[in-house]
Amino acid sequence: MLNGKPNKRALIEGKAALIVIDIQKSTFAPIPDDKRSIAHMPDYADRMARTKIAIDRAREVGVPVIFIQEIHRADLVDMGRETDGDEDVHCLDSNPLTELASDELGIRPDDYKIQKRRYSAFYGTDLEILLRGLKVDTLLLTGGLTDVCVHYTFVDGHQGDYFCRVIEDCVAGSSLAAHQASLNAMEYLQHGAIRSLDEVLAAMDGKAAT
């Protein structure tokens, strides 16, 4: 309960899809923290790797999995304002580390994959067309960064009237403080939005049993 208002929504309302945001080969590459183009909080890679548990369970129970990949052209023509803040140039299509982390996540050739040029997985992509085709009501969000691409995807999903849930164990931010602040901001928009991996797995199993 928050501000005296109980959460009356189920974790999964209607049909769910698991949205895996920007877990790419660079996530698991042995790059020193001070050499990364984007800052990562501690245990970042471990949290991203944990997403495979959710992916495997989603496959078992028939929940669609959609992999989101941030990618930019090597000549930077589509980088926009992304380097005006703390971030350096990142996710160039000329860099092999921009590819999705297929081995670590068990990505299949026929999986749904969407490339994006901005933080939100909705902006300038066909994500919403895909979600409508799949008749999805609830978005289960994993990946990074909590305070950037996860947060802005959540906000656009919220404004599109989707039920949005964040698997707290499977997201990570640019810092622990930024991670927690974004979790709080998303919980403000939808009570019950922030859930543990165990809760989400149980909800998936419950939907499969009905």
Mean pLDDT, all residues of the chain: 92
Instruction: From 26, 48, 5, 41, select the one nearest 167 (Cα to Cα).
Output: 48
**What is the mean predicted confidence (pLDDT) over 129-157?**
97
At the fourth CATH level, which superfamily is domain 16-27+34-209? Isochorismatase-like (3.40.50.850)
> Considering the entire predicted model, what is its pTM?
0.93
Give the whole-number percent of the chain exceeding pLDDT 70.
96
84-123 burial by CB neighbour count: b if 16+ within 10 A, else e? eeebeebbbeebeebebbbebbebeeebbbbbbbbbbbbe
**Does residue 117 carry a pLDDT above 60?**
yes
Peptide bond into 92 cis (omega under 30): no
**Environment class of residue 150 by beta-carbon count within 10 Å: exposed (0-12), middle (13-18) or buried (19+)?**
buried
**Does residue 3 carry a pLDDT above 90?**
no
Q: How confident is the model at residue 86 (pLDDT cuts 50, 70, 90)?
A: confident
Distance CA 7, CA 136 (A): 21
- Axis crossing angle, helix 197-209 with helix 44-61, rounded to the nearest 10: 10
Q: What is the pLDDT of residues 40-81, one digit of tens each?
A: 999 999 999 999 999 999 999 999 999 999 988 988 888 889
Query: How many other C-beta atoms are found inside a 10 Å radius of the C-beta of residue 174?
Result: 20
CB of 200 within 8 A of CB of 55?
no
**What is the mean predicted confidence (pLDDT) over 16-39?**
90
Pairing mode of beta strands 112-116, 65-70: parallel
The predicted pLDDT at position 33 comes to 75
